[in-house]
Structure 1
Amino acid sequence: MDYRDGMPGDGAVLGGIARATFIETFGALYALEDLAAFLAQGSDAAYEAELADPDIAVRFALAAGIPVGFCKIGGLQLPAPTDDTGAIEVRQLYIFKPWQGVGIADVLTRWAIDTARGRGARQLWLSVFTGNPRARRFYARHDFVEVTPYRFMVGNQADEDILCRRDL
Protein backbone atom coordinates (compact mmCIF):
# COMPACT_ATOMS: atom_id res chain seq x y z
CA MET A 1 0.00 0.00 0.00
CA ASP A 2 1.02 3.53 -0.68
CA TYR A 3 -0.40 6.69 0.85
CA ARG A 4 -0.55 10.26 -0.34
CA ASP A 5 -2.16 13.53 0.62
CA GLY A 6 -5.22 14.74 -1.22
CA MET A 7 -4.72 17.86 -3.31
CA PRO A 8 -6.71 20.20 -5.51
CA GLY A 9 -7.84 18.26 -8.56
CA ASP A 10 -8.72 15.15 -6.51
CA GLY A 11 -12.39 16.11 -6.01
CA ALA A 12 -13.75 13.48 -8.40
CA VAL A 13 -11.58 10.75 -6.87
CA LEU A 14 -12.58 11.72 -3.34
CA GLY A 15 -16.25 12.04 -4.24
CA GLY A 16 -16.27 8.78 -6.15
CA ILE A 17 -14.78 6.80 -3.28
CA ALA A 18 -17.03 8.49 -0.70
CA ARG A 19 -20.23 7.79 -2.62
CA ALA A 20 -19.32 4.25 -3.67
CA THR A 21 -18.16 3.11 -0.23
CA PHE A 22 -21.20 4.67 1.45
CA ILE A 23 -23.49 2.79 -0.94
CA GLU A 24 -21.44 -0.39 -0.51
CA THR A 25 -21.65 -0.22 3.29
CA PHE A 26 -24.99 1.42 4.04
CA GLY A 27 -27.02 1.63 0.82
CA ALA A 28 -29.47 -1.14 1.73
CA LEU A 29 -30.55 0.76 4.86
CA TYR A 30 -32.26 3.62 3.03
CA ALA A 31 -35.12 4.44 0.73
CA LEU A 32 -33.70 5.40 -2.67
CA GLU A 33 -34.94 8.99 -2.31
CA ASP A 34 -33.11 9.45 1.00
CA LEU A 35 -29.93 7.84 -0.31
CA ALA A 36 -29.97 9.96 -3.47
CA ALA A 37 -30.52 13.17 -1.49
CA PHE A 38 -27.64 12.34 0.83
CA LEU A 39 -25.26 11.41 -1.98
CA ALA A 40 -26.11 14.58 -3.92
CA GLN A 41 -24.64 16.63 -1.05
CA GLY A 42 -21.28 15.00 -1.76
CA SER A 43 -20.79 16.13 -5.33
CA ASP A 44 -17.36 16.16 -6.93
CA ALA A 45 -17.50 19.98 -6.83
CA ALA A 46 -18.24 19.92 -3.08
CA TYR A 47 -15.28 17.62 -2.48
CA GLU A 48 -13.07 19.77 -4.70
CA ALA A 49 -14.01 22.82 -2.60
CA GLU A 50 -13.05 20.94 0.56
CA LEU A 51 -9.67 20.04 -0.89
CA ALA A 52 -9.04 23.77 -1.46
CA ASP A 53 -9.90 24.54 2.18
CA PRO A 54 -6.75 24.73 4.37
CA ASP A 55 -8.81 23.47 7.34
CA ILE A 56 -9.39 20.13 5.59
CA ALA A 57 -6.75 17.42 5.22
CA VAL A 58 -7.19 14.21 3.22
CA ARG A 59 -5.00 11.13 3.05
CA PHE A 60 -5.54 8.51 0.34
CA ALA A 61 -4.64 4.82 0.50
CA LEU A 62 -3.56 3.40 -2.87
CA ALA A 63 -3.26 -0.19 -4.04
CA ALA A 64 -1.09 -0.46 -7.16
CA GLY A 65 -1.57 3.28 -7.62
CA ILE A 66 -5.39 3.10 -7.45
CA PRO A 67 -7.13 4.94 -4.56
CA VAL A 68 -9.03 2.41 -2.44
CA GLY A 69 -9.80 4.50 0.62
CA PHE A 70 -9.25 7.76 2.40
CA CYS A 71 -9.45 9.64 5.67
CA LYS A 72 -10.58 13.27 5.89
CA ILE A 73 -10.19 15.53 8.92
CA GLY A 74 -11.06 19.13 9.68
CA GLY A 75 -12.11 21.46 12.44
CA LEU A 76 -14.88 20.22 14.69
CA GLN A 77 -18.35 20.64 13.18
CA LEU A 78 -20.12 17.85 15.08
CA PRO A 79 -22.30 18.97 18.02
CA ALA A 80 -19.76 17.57 20.46
CA PRO A 81 -20.02 18.46 24.15
CA THR A 82 -16.63 20.16 24.44
CA ASP A 83 -15.18 23.57 25.19
CA ASP A 84 -12.06 22.76 23.13
CA THR A 85 -12.26 25.32 20.32
CA GLY A 86 -9.27 23.71 18.58
CA ALA A 87 -10.74 20.20 18.46
CA ILE A 88 -10.49 18.28 15.19
CA GLU A 89 -12.89 15.70 13.80
CA VAL A 90 -12.49 12.70 11.56
CA ARG A 91 -15.12 13.59 8.99
CA GLN A 92 -14.80 10.43 6.91
CA LEU A 93 -12.79 7.22 6.98
CA TYR A 94 -13.92 5.06 4.07
CA ILE A 95 -12.25 2.01 2.55
CA PHE A 96 -13.58 -0.30 -0.16
CA LYS A 97 -14.55 -3.69 1.30
CA PRO A 98 -11.88 -5.80 -0.45
CA TRP A 99 -9.22 -3.71 1.33
CA GLN A 100 -10.85 -3.70 4.76
CA GLY A 101 -9.14 -5.66 7.49
CA VAL A 102 -5.62 -5.39 6.07
CA GLY A 103 -4.40 -2.47 8.21
CA ILE A 104 -5.29 0.51 6.01
CA ALA A 105 -7.74 1.93 8.55
CA ASP A 106 -5.05 1.68 11.25
CA VAL A 107 -2.58 3.63 9.12
CA LEU A 108 -5.15 6.28 8.23
CA THR A 109 -6.32 6.61 11.84
CA ARG A 110 -2.72 7.09 13.04
CA TRP A 111 -2.34 9.73 10.32
CA ALA A 112 -5.49 11.51 11.61
CA ILE A 113 -4.23 11.42 15.20
CA ASP A 114 -0.75 12.64 14.25
CA THR A 115 -2.13 15.39 12.00
CA ALA A 116 -4.55 16.58 14.69
CA ARG A 117 -1.71 16.68 17.23
CA GLY A 118 0.44 18.55 14.72
CA ARG A 119 -2.31 21.16 14.48
CA GLY A 120 -2.29 21.56 18.25
CA ALA A 121 -5.61 19.82 18.89
CA ARG A 122 -6.23 18.31 22.31
CA GLN A 123 -9.22 16.26 21.17
CA LEU A 124 -10.17 14.26 18.09
CA TRP A 125 -13.87 13.54 17.53
CA LEU A 126 -15.90 11.38 15.15
CA SER A 127 -19.35 9.90 14.81
CA VAL A 128 -20.05 6.25 14.13
CA PHE A 129 -23.30 4.45 13.28
CA THR A 130 -24.53 2.58 16.34
CA GLY A 131 -25.47 -0.33 14.05
CA ASN A 132 -21.85 -0.77 12.93
CA PRO A 133 -20.26 -2.87 15.71
CA ARG A 134 -17.10 -3.52 13.70
CA ALA A 135 -16.37 0.20 13.37
CA ARG A 136 -17.21 0.80 17.04
CA ARG A 137 -14.72 -1.90 18.11
CA PHE A 138 -12.11 -0.45 15.75
CA TYR A 139 -12.40 3.05 17.20
CA ALA A 140 -12.36 1.68 20.78
CA ARG A 141 -9.04 -0.05 19.95
CA HIS A 142 -7.74 3.38 18.94
CA ASP A 143 -8.77 4.85 22.31
CA PHE A 144 -11.92 6.65 21.19
CA VAL A 145 -14.49 6.83 23.98
CA GLU A 146 -18.20 6.76 23.16
CA VAL A 147 -19.68 9.97 24.57
CA THR A 148 -23.23 10.72 23.45
CA PRO A 149 -25.83 9.80 20.82
CA TYR A 150 -26.10 11.89 17.66
CA ARG A 151 -28.75 12.05 14.92
CA PHE A 152 -27.09 11.59 11.53
CA MET A 153 -29.40 12.52 8.68
CA VAL A 154 -29.51 10.58 5.42
CA GLY A 155 -32.14 12.40 3.41
CA ASN A 156 -35.19 12.39 5.68
CA GLN A 157 -34.04 9.38 7.70
CA ALA A 158 -32.39 10.00 11.05
CA ASP A 159 -29.85 7.37 12.04
CA GLU A 160 -28.55 6.98 15.53
CA ASP A 161 -24.83 7.59 15.57
CA ILE A 162 -22.67 8.05 18.60
CA LEU A 163 -20.12 10.80 19.07
CA CYS A 164 -16.71 9.50 20.11
CA ARG A 165 -13.72 11.39 21.50
CA ARG A 166 -10.04 10.65 21.79
CA ASP A 167 -7.93 12.90 23.96
CA LEU A 168 -4.58 13.69 22.37
Structure 2
Amino acid sequence: MAAAPTYRGATAADADAIHRLFVASFTDTFGHLYRPEDLTAFVAGFTRDGWERELRDPAMRFRLAEADGRLLGYAKIGPQTLPFEPRGPALELRQLYLDRDWHGQGVAQQLMRWVLDEAMRMRAEEVFLSVYIDNERAKRFYARYGFERVGRYDFMVGQHADEDIIMRLAL
Protein backbone atom coordinates (compact mmCIF):
# COMPACT_ATOMS: atom_id res chain seq x y z
CA MET A 1 0.00 0.00 0.00
CA ALA A 2 1.26 3.47 -0.90
CA ALA A 3 2.15 6.00 1.75
CA ALA A 4 -0.37 8.70 2.61
CA PRO A 5 -0.17 11.69 0.26
CA THR A 6 1.77 14.76 1.28
CA TYR A 7 1.23 18.23 -0.14
CA ARG A 8 3.61 21.06 -0.95
CA GLY A 9 4.21 24.02 -3.20
CA ALA A 10 6.05 23.46 -6.47
CA THR A 11 9.40 24.72 -7.74
CA ALA A 12 10.90 24.88 -11.21
CA ALA A 13 12.58 21.54 -10.44
CA ASP A 14 9.11 19.94 -10.57
CA ALA A 15 8.52 20.88 -14.23
CA ASP A 16 9.26 17.43 -15.68
CA ALA A 17 7.07 15.56 -13.19
CA ILE A 18 4.18 18.00 -13.70
CA HIS A 19 4.52 17.70 -17.46
CA ARG A 20 4.49 13.88 -17.36
CA LEU A 21 1.40 13.82 -15.15
CA PHE A 22 -0.37 16.44 -17.25
CA VAL A 23 0.24 14.54 -20.52
CA ALA A 24 -0.72 11.16 -19.02
CA SER A 25 -3.85 12.46 -17.32
CA PHE A 26 -5.05 14.51 -20.28
CA THR A 27 -4.41 11.66 -22.72
CA ASP A 28 -6.04 9.04 -20.47
CA THR A 29 -9.13 11.17 -19.98
CA PHE A 30 -9.57 12.92 -23.32
CA GLY A 31 -7.18 11.40 -25.86
CA HIS A 32 -9.89 9.29 -27.51
CA LEU A 33 -11.73 12.47 -28.54
CA TYR A 34 -9.05 13.78 -30.90
CA ARG A 35 -7.23 13.01 -34.07
CA PRO A 36 -3.63 12.04 -33.22
CA GLU A 37 -2.26 15.16 -34.91
CA ASP A 38 -4.52 17.44 -32.83
CA LEU A 39 -3.54 15.72 -29.58
CA THR A 40 0.15 15.86 -30.53
CA ALA A 41 -0.08 19.57 -31.40
CA PHE A 42 -1.85 20.35 -28.12
CA VAL A 43 0.63 18.49 -25.95
CA ALA A 44 3.56 20.05 -27.85
CA GLY A 45 2.32 23.44 -26.64
CA PHE A 46 3.37 22.47 -23.11
CA THR A 47 7.16 22.56 -22.90
CA ARG A 48 9.65 22.25 -20.07
CA ASP A 49 10.53 25.94 -20.53
CA GLY A 50 6.85 26.86 -20.39
CA TRP A 51 6.28 24.90 -17.19
CA GLU A 52 9.39 26.40 -15.63
CA ARG A 53 8.25 29.92 -16.57
CA GLU A 54 4.89 29.32 -14.92
CA LEU A 55 6.49 27.79 -11.86
CA ARG A 56 8.66 30.90 -11.45
CA ASP A 57 5.84 33.37 -12.19
CA PRO A 58 4.70 35.03 -8.93
CA ALA A 59 1.16 35.35 -10.33
CA MET A 60 0.87 31.55 -10.66
CA ARG A 61 0.50 29.09 -7.79
CA PHE A 62 0.92 25.31 -7.84
CA ARG A 63 0.16 22.70 -5.20
CA LEU A 64 1.50 19.17 -5.54
CA ALA A 65 0.29 15.91 -4.02
CA GLU A 66 2.94 13.21 -3.67
CA ALA A 67 3.41 9.75 -2.18
CA ASP A 68 6.49 7.55 -2.16
CA GLY A 69 8.38 10.16 -4.20
CA ARG A 70 5.77 10.09 -6.98
CA LEU A 71 3.57 12.97 -8.16
CA LEU A 72 -0.09 12.01 -7.69
CA GLY A 73 -1.74 15.25 -8.71
CA TYR A 74 -1.48 18.99 -8.84
CA ALA A 75 -3.56 22.14 -8.91
CA LYS A 76 -2.56 25.33 -10.73
CA ILE A 77 -4.19 28.72 -10.20
CA GLY A 78 -3.45 32.08 -11.73
CA PRO A 79 -5.00 35.30 -12.98
CA GLN A 80 -8.41 34.96 -14.58
CA THR A 81 -8.12 34.67 -18.39
CA LEU A 82 -11.34 32.97 -19.44
CA PRO A 83 -13.66 35.08 -21.61
CA PHE A 84 -16.00 36.08 -18.80
CA GLU A 85 -16.24 39.42 -17.03
CA PRO A 86 -15.53 39.03 -13.31
CA ARG A 87 -17.54 41.06 -10.82
CA GLY A 88 -14.51 41.63 -8.61
CA PRO A 89 -10.98 40.34 -8.00
CA ALA A 90 -10.83 36.87 -9.56
CA LEU A 91 -8.57 33.88 -9.96
CA GLU A 92 -8.74 30.98 -12.35
CA LEU A 93 -8.28 27.32 -11.54
CA ARG A 94 -6.22 26.55 -14.64
CA GLN A 95 -5.62 22.85 -14.02
CA LEU A 96 -6.41 20.17 -11.49
CA TYR A 97 -5.03 16.83 -12.63
CA LEU A 98 -4.63 13.49 -10.86
CA ASP A 99 -3.03 10.20 -11.65
CA ARG A 100 -6.01 8.00 -12.47
CA ASP A 101 -4.99 5.47 -9.80
CA TRP A 102 -5.65 8.17 -7.20
CA HIS A 103 -9.18 9.13 -8.26
CA GLY A 104 -11.57 8.75 -5.34
CA GLN A 105 -8.80 8.79 -2.71
CA GLY A 106 -9.39 12.33 -1.38
CA VAL A 107 -6.44 13.94 -3.18
CA ALA A 108 -8.63 16.14 -5.40
CA GLN A 109 -10.53 17.36 -2.34
CA GLN A 110 -7.29 18.33 -0.59
CA LEU A 111 -6.07 20.17 -3.68
CA MET A 112 -9.42 21.96 -4.02
CA ARG A 113 -9.29 23.02 -0.36
CA TRP A 114 -5.90 24.55 -1.07
CA VAL A 115 -7.28 26.33 -4.19
CA LEU A 116 -10.09 27.91 -2.21
CA ASP A 117 -7.91 28.79 0.79
CA GLU A 118 -5.28 30.33 -1.50
CA ALA A 119 -7.93 32.30 -3.41
CA MET A 120 -9.27 33.73 -0.17
CA ARG A 121 -5.75 34.47 1.09
CA MET A 122 -5.15 36.37 -2.16
CA ARG A 123 -8.41 38.27 -1.58
CA ALA A 124 -10.13 36.93 -4.69
CA GLU A 125 -13.89 37.30 -4.67
CA GLU A 126 -14.45 34.75 -7.45
CA VAL A 127 -12.81 31.64 -8.87
CA PHE A 128 -13.39 30.64 -12.49
CA LEU A 129 -12.61 27.43 -14.33
CA SER A 130 -13.51 25.68 -17.54
CA VAL A 131 -14.50 22.04 -17.85
CA TYR A 132 -15.28 19.86 -20.86
CA ILE A 133 -19.04 19.78 -21.31
CA ASP A 134 -19.20 15.96 -21.19
CA ASN A 135 -16.85 15.54 -18.20
CA GLU A 136 -19.64 14.67 -15.78
CA ARG A 137 -17.31 13.55 -12.99
CA ALA A 138 -15.48 16.90 -12.97
CA LYS A 139 -18.71 18.92 -13.24
CA ARG A 140 -20.16 17.08 -10.21
CA PHE A 141 -16.92 17.59 -8.28
CA TYR A 142 -16.90 21.35 -8.89
CA ALA A 143 -20.63 21.69 -8.22
CA ARG A 144 -20.10 20.18 -4.74
CA TYR A 145 -17.98 23.24 -3.95
CA GLY A 146 -20.64 25.64 -5.22
CA PHE A 147 -19.30 26.32 -8.72
CA GLU A 148 -22.09 27.29 -11.11
CA ARG A 149 -22.19 27.36 -14.88
CA VAL A 150 -21.94 30.90 -16.24
CA GLY A 151 -20.99 30.48 -19.88
CA ARG A 152 -19.32 28.46 -22.59
CA TYR A 153 -15.81 28.40 -23.99
CA ASP A 154 -14.12 26.90 -27.06
CA PHE A 155 -11.14 24.95 -25.74
CA MET A 156 -8.75 24.28 -28.60
CA VAL A 157 -6.92 20.97 -28.91
CA GLY A 158 -4.89 21.37 -32.09
CA GLN A 159 -7.47 22.31 -34.74
CA HIS A 160 -10.33 20.74 -32.76
CA ALA A 161 -12.63 23.01 -30.72
CA ASP A 162 -14.15 21.37 -27.65
CA GLU A 163 -17.14 22.90 -25.99
CA ASP A 164 -16.22 23.69 -22.40
CA ILE A 165 -18.42 25.33 -19.83
CA ILE A 166 -17.16 28.17 -17.69
CA MET A 167 -17.97 27.75 -14.02
CA ARG A 168 -17.78 30.40 -11.31
CA LEU A 169 -17.64 30.29 -7.55
CA ALA A 170 -18.35 33.42 -5.51
CA LEU A 171 -16.21 33.44 -2.37
Please give the root-mean-square deviation of Cα atoms over the aligned residues, in Å.
0.9
Offset of residue 43 of structure 1:
1.1
User: Which residue number in structure 2 is paired with residue 148 of structure 1?
Assistant: 151
User: Which residue number in structure 2 is paired with residue 13 of structure 1?
Assistant: 17
- Large movers: runs of 4+ above 6 Å: none
Q: 2 CA distance for matches of 1:129 and 1:87?
A: 21
Count how many residue pairs are aligned between Structure 1 and Structure 2: 167
- Calculate the TM-score normalised by the size of structure 1: 0.96
Unaligned runs of 5+ residues in structure 1 are none
Q: Which amino acid aligns with 1:143?
A: G
- For 1:2-81, list aligned pairs within 5 A: 2-81=6-85
Q: 2 CA distance for matches of 1:7 and 1:153?
A: 28
Unaligned runs of 5+ residues in structure 2 are none
Deviates more, 1:105-114 or 1:58-67: 58-67
**Deviation digits for residues 39-75 of structure 1, max 9, x if unmatched?**
0111121111100100010001112221111000001
Q: Which amino acid aligns with 2:47?
A: S
Q: Which amino acid aligns with 2:83?
A: P
Q: 2 CA distance for matches of 1:73 and 1:17?
A: 17
Q: Which amino acid aligns with 1:127?
A: S
Question: Do structure 1's residue 117 and structure 2's residue 120 form an aligned pair?
Answer: yes
> Does the 8 Å CA contact 1:127/1:164 hold for their aligned counterparts?
yes
Question: Do structure 1's residue 107 and structure 2's residue 106 form an aligned pair?
Answer: no
- The DSSP-based 3-state class of the residue aligned with 1:121 is coil
Q: Which amino acid aligns with 1:20?
A: A
